Homo-oligomer: A and B are copies of this chain.
Amino acid sequence: MKIAILAGDGIGPEIVAQAVRVLEVLKSDGLKFELEPGLLGGCAVDAAGEPFPEATRRLVTDADAAILGAVGGPRYDMLPRQLRPEQGLLGIRKMLGLFANLRPAVLYSELANASTLKPEIVAGLDILIVRELTGDIYFGEPRGIEQRDGQRVGFNTMIYSEAEIRRIARVAFQAARKRNRRLCSVDKMNVLECTQLWRDVVTETNKEYPDVELSHMLVDNAAMQLVRNPRQFDVMVTGNMFGDILSDEASMLTGSIGMLPSASLDDKNKGLYEPIHGSAPDIAGKDMANPLATILSVAMMLRYTFDQEAVAVRIESAVKKVLAQGYRTEDIYEPGMKKVGTKGMGDAVLANI
């Protein structure tokens, strides 16, 4: 097992350092893997002149998984588009064929107050959204803006093949098997043929996973139901665009974006794991950032790439205990709790693992 460690920019190095401490404890307990650092994003532009340099390409090709902090910062915003840190992220996703984006929306009861929703609606929320990441209207051709009959017309193409739908459906069914075996597929089949095919293929794929209960929901209703009663969902699966919208809506239901990890997987469960929050340059280097989303990304890696469910749960339980003990970084602080910095939060997790 080889894990690439891509600290990135802004708060990336600080939060990834805490995730590495967790990995080292697991290693001393007998888990076998090597960690190898690499450069991605703005730090790679600074050191090597491009956001996804050759050395990093070799590293992530060889590795079984990668942990990423975050990339980007105002220093890099004036660079030409191909040198921007975000291009490093797009480059790694594309080169590795990471078509399956897994976005948990989990709200620990201790943080229920952080949500704008009533605690009785969201406490204990635990949804996993599986978003297709390399197809759909974001990549479909033809696309563009052109002159037609004397005026500009803009157009894009929503497109999915049955092979693309089947492989993301399989990821979702398998993820549902690791959870409560309920999968809700989201589409707009009453209007869009592309998503009629989506529904057909997901329904066919259910035959390979008869132990998972499949339901379907239209995307506009899904956007409502996430507000009305989000705990009705276990795993949701949808295309790239609907997944973009719904996974962000679902994250915000928790009110604590500093707590949420994510995974992007290829067809062999090789994965890139990262918090959903950004590089937060305003608090970089101040020992203020919340490292829990990155630590929870390590748990996701153990679950999805290395199939080490027990170790994943061990990390997640440690995070829960830390919250129950009252430790809070600035972003999730409430009066009466114990405020800690990035390293202090790492210490608290290590003490509970």
Contact = CB atoms under 8 A, between A and B. Distances in A.
Nearest to A121: B116
Interface string A134-178: 000110100111001001111111111111000000000000000
A257 to B, nearest CB: 9
A253 interface: yes
B154 A155 contact: no
B155 A159 contact: yes
A152 B163 CA distance: 8
A238 to B, nearest CB: 12
14 contacts: A116-B227, A143-B193, A143-B194, A144-B193, A145-B194, A145-B196, A151-B163, A152-B200, A153-B160, A153-B161, A154-B159, A155-B159, A220-B245, A223-B252
Residue with the highest number of chain B CB atoms closer than 10 Å, among A121, A162, A196, A247: A162
A115 to B, nearest CB: 8
A219 B245 CA distance: 7
Nearest to A219: B245
B224 A192 contact: no
A154 B160 contact: yes
B197 A145 contact: yes
A207 B196 CA distance: 41
Contacts of A144: 193
A335 to B, nearest CB: 17
Residue with the highest number of chain B CB atoms closer than 10 Å, among A152, A192, A227, A248: A227
B153 A155 contact: no
Nearest to A166: B151
Interface string A244-255: 111111011101
B227 A246 contact: no
A127 to B, nearest CB: 14
Interface of A: 116-118, 121, 137-138, 140, 143-145, 148, 151-163, 188, 191-198, 200-201, 219-221, 223-229, 241, 244-249, 251-253, 255
B158 A156 contact: yes
A191 B251 contact: no
Contacts of A163: 151
Given A152-B200, A155-B157, 4 more contacts: A152-B161, A156-B157, A156-B192, A156-B193
A155 B156 contact: no
Residue with the highest number of chain B CB atoms closer than 10 Å, among A152, A156, A161: A156
Nearest to A198: B154
Contacts of A221: 248
B197 A224 contact: no
Contacts of A246: 223
Residue with the highest number of chain B CB atoms closer than 10 Å, among A117, A152, A249, A253: A249
A154 B116 contact: no
A248 B228 contact: no
B224 A251 contact: yes
Contacts of A191: 138
A219 B219 CA distance: 14
B248 A224 contact: yes
A203 to B, nearest CB: 13
A96 B200 CA distance: 34
Contacts of A198: 154
Contact of A194 (B154, B223, B227): B154
